Amino acid sequence: MVGNGQFNEIIHAPMRLRICGLLRPVDEVDFAVLRESLGISDASLSKHLKVLSDNGFVKTSKRPSTERSDSRRLTWVKLTASGRKAFDAHVEQLRLIAAGFAATEESRA
């Protein structure tokens, strides 16, 4: 492995990479907002979130909506601390790959 980052096969899947990228700069996002931002179905987003959750990268919680008078609860999604660390390390590896391993190694010598 080159650098301090670690390539992560779980995060690397295109939709999961996008999910993590959208979650990284915020504390949490409403499931519906995330779904609309990605342009995918509820089922598809749920499937990807389950994989990320099973690996400890995201956490979901349900809370009543403060904007609705009924008892409907909203699902909120956030990266865990380990999810942020894994995403940041993965992005670092992608940058090294994009820059070229040889060029990176020569600059460190």
In a domain, 4, yes or no: no
Geometric angle at alpha carbon 14, from 8 and 97, rounded to 5°: 55
58 DSSP β-pair partners: 79
Residue-level pLDDT at 2: 40
- Whether 1 is in a domain gets the answer no
pLDDT of residue 3: 47
Domain assignment present for residue 3? The answer is: no
pLDDT tens digits, 55-75: 999 999 998 877 766 667 899
Does pTM surpass 0.75?
yes
Any idea what the CATH number is for the domain that residue 93 is in? 1.10.10.10
- Domain span at 20: 9-108
Domains: count for the chain: 1
Query: Coil, strand or helix: which one is 60?
Result: strand
Q: Is residue 26 part of a domain?
A: yes
Residue 2 lies in a domain: no
Confirm whether 35 is domain-assigned.
Answer: yes
Residue 46 lies in a domain: yes
Each residue's pLDDT tens digit, 87-97: 999 999 999 88
Whole-number Cα distances in Å, 70 to 29, 42, 44, 88: 21, 21, 27, 39
- CA–CA dist 32, 42 (Å, integer): 8
